[in-house]
Structure 1
Amino acid sequence: MFKIQEIREIIKLVDASSIDEFVYEADGSKVKLKKNGGAVEIVAPKAAAPAPAPVVEQTAAPAPAAPAQAKEEAAPAAPVVADADLHKITSPMVGTFYQAPSPDAPAYVKVGDKVGDESIVCIVEAMKLFNEIEAEIKGEIVEILVKDGQLVEYGQPLFLVKPE
């Protein structure tokens, strides 16, 4: 079963995003949010025993600065025109994008950096958990598509990588 604080955080994230509908299922529980309809639906598990809390991997990264304090990374000189041969690193969740593990630390990657399969490229913070995002491909960072401190949605492209 979901804790009320978890549901409140999900509502805040969905409200701040441009998505109209959000559905999350875990261990027999289901949360469904619709902005336009104004509906919030929570379905309890059918089993008599309470469902265990969802397991979320948490990193030990320090909390990044608030978006207002975040440093702006310089945009690439020219936008990438032909991205058909480029790989998109996408966000695996709704949350806040951070380029560095802390406000005073350098960004994990910048345009022109080489990355490997397990290279950490950013952090996406969701419900106060800081999730390290890996490149999952060998190549070169060609473009950073979001700004530090920006809210990102599930499946939203974050980086363009030229595969090796």
Structure 2
Amino acid sequence: MKIQEIREIIKLIDQSTLDEFLYESEGTKIKLKKNDKGSVSSTGFALESSVVAEQPIVVEEKQAQVSEAPKENVEKKVEEVAAETSLHKITSPMVGTFYQSSSPEADAYVQVGTKVSSDSIVCIVEAMKLFNEIEAEVNGEVVEILVKDGQLVEYGQPLFLVKEV
């Protein structure tokens, strides 16, 4: 199991009403528990693997509580800019990984200044090995790209600002 998949599982459990989650597959065991505040407990996260060793290898990941203030500040700034200039925000419909093109060798779907129509594909959001094409939803011109290629995005996170025509 890849770290990316584990991170996505952690996010899904954190957003759900589940208090405890246990996953076992091919010698790998993941056990997640939420603390009283509703977020995934850093002490409840452990990976156990017995692929090579006779005894399970236990890796405990200690995570500091990360403040959401920087993310909130960015979102407030995006909201202010969009409100001031009446720009349309194209948001992520799901949690996943943002890609600007269909493959690493291909050109980006859009760049700043690209004219788009409502059915133009602007990016791909990959979630659980499924590549979802995201459409512009409006006719206009891309003014700003708010995320970087390969960045993890949240549900509802603004990806692009488009000046409607």
What TM-score, normalized by structure 1, do the two folds share?
0.57
For 1:1-40, list aligned pairs within 5 A: 9=5, 12-13=7-8, 15=10, 21-23=14-16, 32=18, 37=38
Q: Which residue of 1 aligns with 2:103?
A: 102
What is the alpha-carbon distance in structure 1 between the residues aligned to residue 9 and residue 125 of structure 2?
15
Change (3 A) 1:116 1:32: farther
Question: Unpaired segments of 5 or more residues in structure 2?
Answer: 20-33, 41-77
2:164 is equivalent to residue 163 of structure 1: yes
Residue 12 (structure 1) shift:
2.6
Alpha-carbon distance change, 162 to 38 in structure 1, aligned in 2, over 3 angstroms: closer
**Shift of residue 142, structure 1, vs aligned partner:** 0.2
Question: 2:85 matched to 1:90?
Answer: no
Aligned to 2:127: 126
Q: Percent identity?
A: 65
Aligned-partner Cα distance in 1 for 2:18–2:164 = 37
5+ residue gaps, structure 1, are 24-30, 40-78
Q: Please state whether the residue corresponding to 2:162 is helix, strand or coil.
A: strand
The Cα shift of 1:16 comes to 6.5
Q: Tell me how many residue pairs correspond in the alignment.
A: 109
* 2:82–2:89 contact (8 Å) kept in structure 1: no
Q: Whole-Å Cα distance in 2 between the matches of residues 32 and 162 of structure 1? A: 41
Q: Which has the larger radius of gyration?
A: 2
Distance 1:158 1:38, change over 3 A: closer
More helix by share: 2
Q: Deviations over 1:100-134 (max 9, x none)?
A: 00000000000000000100000000000000000
CA distance in structure 2 between the partners assigned to 1:118 and 1:137 by the alignment: 8
CA distance in 1, matches of 2:154, 2:81: 24
Q: Which has the bigger relative contact order, CA under 8 A and spacing at least 6? A: 1
Cα-Cα RMSD: 3.1
Does the 8 Å CA contact 1:143/1:159 hold for their aligned counterparts?
A: yes
What secondary structure sits across from 2:7 in the alignment?
A: helix
Q: Which amino acid aligns with 1:162?
A: K
Q: Is the 8 A contact 1:94 1:152 kept in 2?
A: yes
Question: Which secondary structure state, in structure 2, belongs to the residue aligned with residue 143 of structure 1?
Answer: strand
TM-score by length of 2: 0.57
